Structure 1
Amino acid sequence: MKIVSYIHPKSTYLPCTGIGRHINQMLLGLEACQEISLQLLFSAQWLSAHHKLDERSPLSSIPFTTFPSTENATERTWKLLGFPQMDRYVSKDTDWLYAPMQTYIPISKCPVAITLHDIQAFETNLPWSHTWQHKLFRFKWSGWVNRALSDSRIIFTVSEFSKHRIVELLDVDPQKIIVVGNGVESQFFDISTVDPNTLIRPIAEPYILVIGGLKFKKGADYVLSVARELKLHKSDLQILVAGDSESKYLAVEQEFPNLKLLGIVPDKDLPRLLRCASSLLFLSHYEGFGIPAIEAMAVGTPAIVSNRASLPEIVGTAGIIVEPEQIKSVVDILMQLQENSHLREDYIRRGYQHSQYYTWARCVDVVRKAFYEYI
């Protein structure tokens, strides 16, 4: 089977977001399938002077073809006008044009499969749903998403929650939507057997890890309230935040001495940071999946997540699901996990067992089987 995959190369550069990880792992997995011939498709703007894809991308060794126009300009005309058709960049024996990301690609030569990781743009009950920024976001998506849903033979998504919202908000045939999910890289599972006391810790004190930076949509205000409450309790628990933070939160360390911003953390360091943590705190308002929660479980660290969007589905009974506005209750749980070894061990055991389902090999197999079934 011959598959051409359209990507945004920059999204795949390490370290990358959850969507970037999905792109990398799905395509590396498909490339490893003996019966599949995989080729990348992207704008020539991403090529180096030596006509190569940047080595920061794990996909740099996969064969590729490019189109001459810039990525933004090309996608803008795809989404607004439905052209240029990309048939000229795809050979006649191509079986699928696959995008492991959210886009619309006009083509008539072969069937198309795209991936909608979430449809936050169409949600109307989020704290920011009525801001002008979100209304503009929704307007831009409205210009192309229905055409993409109509023209694509398969719509992949990453959770049952996202599938349900696609069906409910966009009136899509559920038979067309396949939940592929997300996985966890092997290094997270590998470190679960390592005694955290033998690892290099970022700080000497016990700490809670927050992944995704301090961003409003990721529950930054809840995290700051947790830091304030921990301070009132005179707890020695610290909060470390990995990832880019919004500018309005960059000075919070002055007000919260028990909180530290780590910035972007190299992928190789994340398993160690999670393994040494007392717990993962993930109080996001909206997630199509929520990879950090499963990564925490895989390394043997309890995951506390908000009762929002897909997160209760993803962690099931193996994670601790909280109402993020009930800060005192959240802090009580965080402190119990640090002080009650039996409670902590119970959630470590449950979380690790739960995480075994979330492998990239399983995700790749779902996609591979769908390509054969829907051809």
Structure 2
Amino acid sequence: MTTELRVPSASEWNTWFECLELAFGGVPTAPESLETYAALAAPERSIGHRDGADWVATAGAHRFRVTVPGGSEVAAAGVTMVSVAATHRRRGLLTAMMRRQLDDVRSWGEPLAVLTASEPGIYGRFGYGAATRELNMRIDTSRVRLDVPPGADGVRVRYASPVRALAACEAVYAELAATRPGTPVRQPGWERMAVLDPEQARDGGSPLRCVLAERDDRVTGYATYRTRPDWDHEGPRGRVLLRDLGALDPASYAALWRFLFGIDLTSVVECSNRPVDDAVLHLVSDVRRCDVRLRDGLYVRLVEVGAALEARSYRSPVDVVLDVEDAFCPWNAGRWRLTAEAGGAASCRRTEDPADLALSVRELGAVYLGGVSLTELAAAGLVRETRQGAVAEASSAFSSDVEPWCPHGF
């Protein structure tokens, strides 16, 4: 049996997407969600395997720009909608798509590829490293007290329509995105994802709600959430399901959390994706009753090592020769000299000088945003030091002031 790997035409996109739906459980996508996905998808950047008249594998690549350490925005392919039909497993279809896709990304001039993985064990062999983590919490608000900083009482929190308030929320998002590595900078149309609210996705919860924080007649924060009512013999046990929360100052941030903690007839606030260094951890009276859990977030793949390493800045001076292993993208393999002053422009060029560190492109992707250290990877045997002190020097340079985070999937 042979399959054809090719780009779907615009008229084929719906049947291509049906292949993806079947691979992810076969539940039809809500019409309003499908309309949004179709508008954001770029068929010319999608690929798939076709077996006769049927699509049997899919992969897409959004046009993204991602914030990196130093605040620059770097072009990146947002890899998404990857699937292989259960009837065509273990035949090399995924490997062939990943090979073709990375060649395409390189031809588009995008030095990075990023994705969120449905299963974390899949993409390491293609050079993707887990670069960010997500904080999940289930806060028992009946037993956890929130201590807010001075100024929170001066913040006005008011209800707003999620759709009508979208422009104000997006303005806050844009300011925050510029300060946190790993955050996608909104491209046209992506703001609609923030208010997408199909009924079939509510799982017994309310429609999407929104509140705005305001100071001096300016929107300084927002939260979107839904509530899920519940009762037992002792009374109300409702839950607040937080989708997104962003604020431009500590008082607005704390005022929004205080609002969430105080919603009537609820006793739990659930958060499925927050940054690892979320300040709420320092406002709660008992972090043990917040049921804090971590999981992998954004995976990063350096498609062009030199361009990617030059696109970010470094926290401390660095002059190190990296011996990079990359069997999947052989143009990256070999030795690269990375030099930079703290916060200044970086240079990353081919060199014949002896290596200071040896690592694979997967580990380089893991440390790229500053949330994973070369020191911890070296302790795991994944980075080899050939010049004494090189790990400590490079690890300090690659670090970030704030934890990298990708606040939404794609």
TM (norm. structure 1) is 0.32
Q: Which has the higher strand share?
A: 2
Q: Which has the higher helix share?
A: 1
- Structure of higher CA gyration radius: 2
TM (norm. structure 2) is 0.30
